[in-house]
Structure 1
Amino acid sequence: MNDSGLGGAGYFWCLRHHRVEIGDDVCPAQYRLGPFATADEATRALETVEKRNAEWDAEDARWTGESS
């Protein structure tokens, strides 16, 4: 399953299998988020994405002068 050339560096959240993956048994890059430093961080990957998207949306609104 490994197509990254990372050699198993880090933990990944698999969007297809909804689990943490590590090592040489990870899904292709299009199905994963990461790498993360810990399995716990990888488990919270979707929360991290949601938080960052909200921060970026707020920054975009501030930049363009729109109110949220």
Structure 2
Amino acid sequence: MAYWFNVDTRQVETDDNKSQGDHLMGPYDTQDAASRALDSARERSEKWDAEDRAWEDGRSED
């Protein structure tokens, strides 16, 4: 079963009861992973931002 995080309602949904629309994040393998969707997305974004800064810093030395 897949789990989804609804950013409008802040609720975890399953394939059986998931809403339609662009406000779902997922699918996730577990209910716990879906409930941490916003934290996981923030952590990935912060990591990518740091990688972008490092790449930009390295490129500016050329």
TM-score (norm: length of structure 1): 0.77
Separation (CA, whole Å) in 1 of partners of 2:20 and 2:55: 35
Q: Which consecutive unaligned segments of at least 5 residues does structure 1 have? A: 1-8
Higher-Rg member (1/2)? 2
Q: Which consecutive unaligned segments of at least 5 residues does structure 2 have? A: none
Identity rate, percent: 33
Name which of 4, 27, 31 aligns with 1:12. 4
Is residue 2:35 matched to residue 1:43?
yes
List, as ranges, runs of 4+ consecutive aligned residues in structure 1 with deviation greater than 3 Å: none
Aligned alpha-carbon RMSD (Å): 1.5
Between structures 1 and 2, the one with greater helix share: 2
